[in-house]
Amino acid sequence: MTAAAHGSREWSTTPTEAHEHGWSVESRHATSAGYVLYVRCADCGTQRVDLQEGDTLPPRSLSVEVSPSKAPSRG
Ligand SMILES: [Zn+2]
């Protein structure tokens, strides 16, 4: 007998380091320092603020990653 977890995602205590965020830009604002990007991970909902100083430059993180699950949610 094999208990294969196929198709079911287990929401266990996965360390944040192991999770690779898939950032998607929610909004983008032009400032004097460059573009401020508000990004969110579509997978876990973690939010972050990035700063892109130029169109050809890669954005760098401006804020720490903010996890959405600070409070226990009952659903
Ligand atoms: Zn994530």
> Length of the chain, please?
75
Phi, psi at residue 29, to the nearest 5°? -125, 135
* Ligand 1: centre distance to CA 66 (Å): 10
CA distance 44 to 10: 13
Label residue 3 by pLDDT band (50, 70, 90): low
Ligand 1 center to residue 3 CA distance, Å?
Answer: 27
Quote the ligand 1 centre to 55 CA distance (angstroms).
25
Q: Cα of 1 to ligand 1 centre, how many Å? A: 34
Tokens of 50: 């990035």
* pLDDT band with cut points at 50, 70 and 90 for residue 61: very high
Q: Which of 7, 58, 3 is nearest to 34 (CA)?
A: 58
- pLDDT recorded at residue 40: 95
CA of 40 to the centre of ligand 1 (A): 8
Residue 14 has pLDDT above 90, yes or no: no
